[in-house]
Amino acid sequence: MISITLPDGSVRQYDKGITAMQIALSISEGLARNVLAAEVNGEVWDASRPIDEDSSVKLLTWNDPKGKATYWHSSAHLLAEALEALYPGTKFGIGPAIETGFYYDVDFGDKTLSSDDFKQIEDKMIELAKAKNEYIRKPVSKADAIAYFTEKDDEYKLDLIKDLPDGAITFYTQGNFTDLCRGPHIPNTGFVKAAKLMSLAGAYWRGDESRKQLTRIYGVTFPKASELTEYLHLIEEAKKRDHRKLGKELELFAFSEKVGMGLPLWLPKGTALRERLQNFLQKAQVKSGYEQVMTPHIGHKNLYITSGHYEKYGADSFQPIKTPQEGEEFLLKPMNCPHHCEIYKTKPRSYKDLPVRLAEFGTVYRYEQSGELHGLTRVRGFTQDDAHLFCRPDQVKEEFKKVIDLVLYVFKALGFNNYTAQVSLRDPENKTKYIGSDENWALAETAIIESAAEKGLTTVVELGEAAFYGPKLDFMVKDAIGRKWQLGTIQVDYNLPERFELEYTGSDNQKHRPVMIHRAPFGSMERFIAVLIEHCAGNFPLWLSPEQFIILPISEKYEDYAKKLSDELKDSDICGLIDFRDEKIGRKIRDAEVKKIPYMLIVGEKEAAEGQVSVRKHGQGDLGSMSIEEFKQQIIKEITV
């Protein structure tokens, strides 16, 4: 008999050679129907693989990321089986699972595949899936593996086998298709109920441009047809909300090849939006005892040698800027922290002065690979809503709680009601990887865990995910269509105070090192605004809207009245514009709807005569006539809510 420990800590006895599937069956048939694979002593295995020794076993289902990955990787085999059936002689590269779905790199020889072929392939996959063929694992010798793929004339598999040690090679067969694979896989193809091929791309074999370009086929599969429908709907919805598309339509930001890739240009409306966000956060920060500072966009190379950033990013980032003076070099600022450390050092600090909280909307530059750039979410220059808190070790918890409050305040104001937090701690088995004393780590880790619990956050704790210089707390938000984004972060740092020799005088009159906390509730202005655009589909809360109203005069005759209204609203800090175009009112309304302007104020003869406005709200329609004073009150009420 062997002992199997399940995730809930219970231990069950089974015969040696039991499989995860049999374990599932011994618990419930319903569970067994959903088991895709199992984690055995931390390694993902086929559910049908015999377990020969005492082990801890976690059964993996669709709801488990590792279960999903196994499912999608197995679907890549199914795609290959379908391709081989439809296009005999096809050669196969690799077919991994990706974040959503899978791909397979394929050499079709002379044939060029197009999306017109997708339907036929998808149908074939489902036909093969219905056969419920098992994925059968078979260890093979290197010689046999070479013989098999030589016979099949698949140079890609032969190239892969070349690097594998004899004795570690396995084949997996489902139906008529055999693949070289380490596994694991789902029990049988019958779990795949819906398949969709998404796109095609070229991919060099082994990522090497001097080698052959294969066709990469991206696909996704689901255990229920309804899940595919939902997924396709989500993609459509995401396309509509794409911040790159909306950013252009709403005239928020642009990119110019001439200025440089990944360097956003903020247009007037985008700038207005961004400034409102900054003012909002800055106001909250001032209330929480932060002091605003400003530092230059460049710094002496030595500054970043001291901070360690040069060693870490120097070679892969923007290269130093030289000056006419021999040997003098500056770097574009990759981080604001070193500058803030120097501000801390401008005067002696006592224990009574701490915490010192320095905040800056600081623009930093990092050289991202051109292929990695994506709208505002991956850029080469961005502005962090940065702040550094310099505190005593006994203040870490209190400061952490305050920062959590601030982050939650920001999320609430912007309608992110669904969030979780990840606590990243050090790996207790590998303490030498980290800088800072055991005592301080214990203090900071407890502070984070306790603050998160006291603030009622839903957290996951990840061991070994801390930075080498300190533990951290990261916030993930779920947007309106269920996608997860990492936003704000709070990070404890023992490293920089050491490197910059920061000090304060304690109550004992001795010198002590402060602890530094880095924090950014938005993360960066660029990324946050991108996420916000996609979350609210461009319908910003009224207080953030760069244009809160548009006045639509029915004809030229009412322009003076329109101007008078506009001035009156602007005096109350309500901003907007007038549509002076010589267009029909219906057209003006449609255009204002497209621009997602929250309020449309229609003025004609009746309104001008009675000193009223006819109000329409974006997405809601007609709100009727009201006086300008009533309208103002409505807006002010909405903004303050």
Give me the active site residues, please.
Answer: 337, 366, 384, 386, 388, 472, 518
Strand partners, 519: 387, 490
Q: Two tokens at 52?
A: 């020969």
Q: Which residues bind Zn ion (CB under 5 A)?
A: 181, 337, 518
Alpha-carbon distance of 505 to 106, in angstroms, equals 66
**Minimum Å distance from CB 623 to Zn ion?**
47
**Minimum Å distance from CB 362 to Zn ion?**
9
**Minimum Å distance from CB 379 to Zn ion?**
18
* Residue 124 and residue 175 in contact, taking contact as beta carbons nearer than 8 Å: no
Alpha-carbon distance of 557 to 486, in angstroms, equals 52
> CA-based diameter of the chain, in Å?
94
How many other C-beta atoms lie within 10 A of the C-beta of residue 578?
17
Alpha-carbon distance of 390 to 395, in angstroms, equals 9
**Minimum Å distance from CB 306 to Zn ion?**
14
**Minimum Å distance from CB 588 to Zn ion?**
48
**Minimum Å distance from CB 364 to Zn ion?**
10
**DSSP run (H or E) holding 216:** strand 213-222
DSSP secondary structure, 503-570, as one string? -EE-TTS-EEPPEEEEEESSS-HHHHHHHHHHHHTT---TTT-S--EEEEESSGGGHHHHHHHHHHHH
CB closer to Zn ion out of 140 and 181: 181
CB closer to Zn ion out of 247 and 488: 488
3-state secondary structure string across 309-323: HHHHHHHHCCCCEEC
Strand partners, 331: 299
Alpha-carbon distance of 585 to 608, in angstroms, equals 16
Alpha carbon distances (Å) from 192 to 62, 181, 212, 232, 233: 11, 19, 32, 17, 19
- In sequence order, the 6+-apart residues with CB closer than 8 A to the CB of 471 are 423, 424, 425, 426, 441, 444, 445, 448, 491, 492
* Residue 100 and residue 114 in contact, taking contact as beta carbons nearer than 8 Å: no
Q: Two tokens at 8?
A: 């809930």
**Minimum Å distance from CB 335 to Zn ion?**
6
Residue 197: closest CA among 115, 126, 129, 130: 115
Alpha-carbon distance of 471 to 432, in angstroms, equals 15
Alpha-carbon distance of 170 to 191, in angstroms, equals 22
CB closer to Zn ion out of 513 and 518: 518
CB closer to Zn ion out of 389 and 603: 389
**Minimum Å distance from CB 637 to Zn ion?**
39
Rg (C-alpha) for the chain, rounded Å, is 30
* Residue 270 and residue 525 in contact, taking contact as beta carbons nearer than 8 Å: no
CB closer to Zn ion out of 56 and 282: 282
The position carrying tokens 């707390």 is 473
339 is in an annotated binding site: no
337 is in an annotated binding site: yes
CB closer to Zn ion out of 337 and 565: 337
**Minimum Å distance from CB 309 to Zn ion?**
10
**Minimum Å distance from CB 139 to Zn ion?**
14
518 is in an annotated binding site: yes
CB closer to Zn ion out of 92 and 599: 92
CB closer to Zn ion out of 104 and 411: 104
Alpha-carbon distance of 205 to 212, in angstroms, equals 6
Alpha carbon distances (Å) from 351 to 119, 363, 394, 441, 625: 70, 31, 11, 20, 61
* Residue 194 and residue 130 in contact, taking contact as beta carbons nearer than 8 Å: no
Alpha carbon distances (Å) from 45 to 7, 39, 67: 16, 6, 10
No. of H helices and E strands in the chain?
20, 32
Alpha-carbon distance of 599 to 635, in angstroms, equals 9
From the annotation, which residues make up the binding site for Zn(2+)?
A: 337, 388, 518
Residue ranges for the binding site? 337, 388, 518
